[in-house]
Chains A and B, each alone.
Chain A
Amino acid sequence: DAKTTQPNSMESNEEEPVHLPCNHSTISGTDYIHWYRQLPSQGPEYVIHGLTSNVNNRMASLAIAEDRKSSTLILHRATLRDAAVYYCILREGAGAQKLVFGQGTRLTINP
């Protein structure tokens, strides 16, 4: 199974951009890269996903390396509400389509 590696924690200041890295060196060609975040006592919430090209939505941007072995979630202007644990997940594109969770990055936003 493909695995993801993320830093345990990161810290940033309010209204500054945040770059959250994820390594997935064993990703296969059909695996999708998903990002979710989890607030305390809540279920994970969708942030963004992509396959090969960079993606933008109202919440964030996802930059995917050309070799797809790493990706970066970009929060353009962090707010206090963005403080959460962020998970980089690979979803198998074929077969069982298992979800493989990394350990997650705890993001702290300073006022």
Chain B
Amino acid sequence: DSGVTQTPKHLITATGQRVTLRCSPRSGDLSVYWYQQSLDQGLQFLIQYYNGEERAKGNILERFSAQQFPDLHSELNLSSLELGDSALYFCASSVEDRNTEAFFGQGTRLTVV
């Protein structure tokens, strides 16, 4: 157990819908990272927050957004869902503003039908 908690573990939804994925980082970690892993794309960095502020952005679609709250948990919002958004979404956390020793949660498997 990495100490990073993601909910829900599985999510099935229809195209066009909106979902919210939640991540609670390890105690004491200030950075949260979101990744998308699909079969044809591998693990892709989406976005990073550090202590409530957006720190870095990867190939995140405009339909996707995220935020980190004062208690440091983070949410990833996915809207106007398409079939191609079906993937595993991982959250990772680290103490510092860098990926050193980042720990991954178990992921949320999103299926868009």
A and B from one assembly? no
Q: Could you tell me which A residues sit within 8 Å of B by CB distance? A: none
